[in-house]
């Protein structure tokens, strides 16, 4: 299966994941993310540069005032959408200040609302967002899978191929029923008929069909 072109957004936290964008991809350093590139060239550097502490000498800098409504990551997400990208991977955006991590999860929701698939890559897990859809996982995985309602309720939630099955369940934002499930090594799937879910799983985006090109049957 081919993968969609990816907009990589590198955030300010240190991250240990190497990535190798190809010619179809877009790489955006969001403020302090410019110091976390790991040798990868940024196509664009965006932010108010309060975290980085200086304005980089780069051929493509989009500078914003410190007093602004969007986070630097959200600014980068808007640029990626405007350039036509519909797959986003945020690196260095999990951990550190909890408010920043929560803001980045809301950025995933914004991207999904605007027709993009998106994920936050943590040290040992991927966080992604589902809205009225399914996410499938390859066989051979181990570790946790946690699913949280994002909104008042999510209807018709199924978890298949995991240690604990859910069948046509309703999840709410006041009960963490979907926390701490686990892969069994079998192919697995999480789906929601109506509503929105935050899904956190042990593994990488390529362990699922998150960024697979839509079939053209």
216 within domain boundaries: no
Counted domains in the chain: 2
Whether the predicted pLDDT of 217 surpasses 60: no
Q: Are residues 85 and 14 in the same domain?
A: yes
Q: Are residues 145 and 196 in the same domain?
A: yes
- Give the residue carrying structure tokens 């890559």: 121
Q: Are residues 27 and 111 in the same domain?
A: yes
Which of the pair, 71 or 137, is modelled with greater confidence? 137
Res 169: pLDDT: 97
pLDDT band at 166 (very low <50, low <70, confident <90, very high): very high
Compute the mean pLDDT over every residue in the chain, rounded to the nearest whole number.
91
Show which of 66, 97, 123 is a domain's final residue: 123
- pLDDT tens track for 47-88: 888 878 777 788 887 777 666 778 889 999 999 999 999 999
- pLDDT tens track for 29-47: 988 888 888 889 999 999 8
140 within domain boundaries: yes
Q: Are residues 94 and 155 in the same domain?
A: no
Whether the predicted pLDDT of 1 surpasses 60: no
pLDDT band at 27 (very low <50, low <70, confident <90, very high): very high
- pLDDT tens track for 92-132: 889 888 998 999 999 999 999 999 999 999 888 999 999 99
The CATH number linked to 17 is: 3.40.50.10240
Show which of 57, 88, 123 is a domain's final residue: 123
- Give the residue carrying structure tokens 């990551």: 73
Domain that holds residue 44: 7-123
Compute the distance between CA of residue 202 and CA of residue 125 in angstroms, rounded to an integer: 4
184 within domain boundaries: yes
Show which of 91, 123, 155 is a domain's final residue: 123
Q: Are residues 14 and 101 in the same domain?
A: yes
Res 216: pLDDT: 46
Percentage of the chain surpassing pLDDT 70? 96
Q: Are residues 172 and 83 in the same domain?
A: no
Q: Are residues 52 and 102 in the same domain?
A: yes
CA distances from 136 to 7, 188, 206 (A): 21, 6, 11
Res 115: pLDDT: 95
Tokens of 124: 């040992």
Q: Are residues 96 and 164 in the same domain?
A: no
Q: Where are the alpha helices (DSSP H) in the chain?
A: 72-82, 98-113
Which of the pair, 142 or 64, is modelled with greater confidence? 142
Q: Are residues 175 and 194 in the same domain?
A: yes
213 within domain boundaries: no
For 136-150, letters b (16+ CB in 10 Å) and e give: ebeeebeebbbbbbb
Q: Are residues 116 and 148 in the same domain?
A: no
Q: Are residues 22 and 108 in the same domain?
A: yes
């Amino acid at each position: 299966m081919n993968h969609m072109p990816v907009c990589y957004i590198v955030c300010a936290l240190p991250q240990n994941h190497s990535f190798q964008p190809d010619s179809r991809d877009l790489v955006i350093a969001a403020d302090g993310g410019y110091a976390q590139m790991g040798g990868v060239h940024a196509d664009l550097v965006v932010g108010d540069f309060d975290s980085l502490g200086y304005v980089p000498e780069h051929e493509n800098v989009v500078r914003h005032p410190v007093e602004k409504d969007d986070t630097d990551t959200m600014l980068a997400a808007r640029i990626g959408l405007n350039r036509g990208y519909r797959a986003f991977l945020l690196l260095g955006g999990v951990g550190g200040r909890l408010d920043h991590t929560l803001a980045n999860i809301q950025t995933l929701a914004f991207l999904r609302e605007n027709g993009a698939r998106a994920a936050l890559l943590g040290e040992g897990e991927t966080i992604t967002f589902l809205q009225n859809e399914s996410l499938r996982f390859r066989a051979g995985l181990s570790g946790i899978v946690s699913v949280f309602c994002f909104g008042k309720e999510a209807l018709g939630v199924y978890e298949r191929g995991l240690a604990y099955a859910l069948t046509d369940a309703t999840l709410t934002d006041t009960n963490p029923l979907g926390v701490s499930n686990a892969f069994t090594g079998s192919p697995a799937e999480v789906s929601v008929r109506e509503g929105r879910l935050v899904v956190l799983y042990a593994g990488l985006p390529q362990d699922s069909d998150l960024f697979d090109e839509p079939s053209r049957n």
